[in-house]
Amino acid sequence: MTNFYFYVIRCLLVASALKWRTATSLPVHTQLSAEECPNCSALFMNLLTNIRGILNNDDVLFHGIKSNKTTVSSLAETPQACAPNIQQNSNCMAQRSTPFSESECLMSIMKDIVHYEALIESYLKLTLKRPKEEKALLSPTLKIIQNLKNCFLRFNGGMNPAEEDMSRMWVDDSYTNRLEMFKLMRGFYIRVITINRAMGYISSGDHRV
């Protein structure tokens, strides 16, 4: 019995050592640097302007679409993860009772942009009503997202959140897909507004006071 306990303790010690070695071999930044944060913030402002332009361009992607519905499809909890500290409420996002974590907020934001990248890419693989015009309209969005991913990969130690299979979102009807895309892009726009507020909060440095 004594040998058994000794064996268990030895295994636990080995496992702990391996876990520590794995955690320390690939350092991950816990916050954006003073140089990186403004660059990422500017890209998110560009993304917001880009999506607003897409939603206002009803001659191509959303021609004939009349809807006030909005769908936020990303499961990332960015509004909660990026809410400011309660003692430093900015009146822009919900208050929080736990300390703000820049790392948690940025990881949630990255999940958002990876999700919407997969969403747009899957849409462009469909049989589109006006493929040339729709691809020209959405390609700049993907380019901005790619630049954002490059910015965030430096923060995340080169690790990317797992991409999602968004093919389930679509059917074999062009109008139905464009209607769904309209609701999804409205949701994306709302989420990017939240992200821009979060990036402003991070840039201010108030959470580090």
Q: What is the pLDDT of residues 124-183, one digit of tens each?
A: 999 999 999 999 999 999 999 999 988 877 665 555 666 678 888 899 999 999 999 999
- For the chain, report the end-to-end CA distance as a whole number of angstroms: 54
**How many angstroms from the chain centroid is the CA of residue 58?**
26
- List C-alpha distances in Å: 194 to 57, 68, 128, 200, 204: 22, 20, 30, 10, 15
- List C-alpha distances in Å: 93 to 57, 196, 197, 205: 29, 11, 8, 16
Per-residue pLDDT tens digits for 52-93: 999 998 889 998 898 999 999 999 999 999 998 765 444 544
Tokens for 7, please give them: 């064996």
Q: With residue 159 as reference, give the H or E element that holds it.
A: none
Q: Does domain 34-208 have CATH number 3.30.1450?
A: no
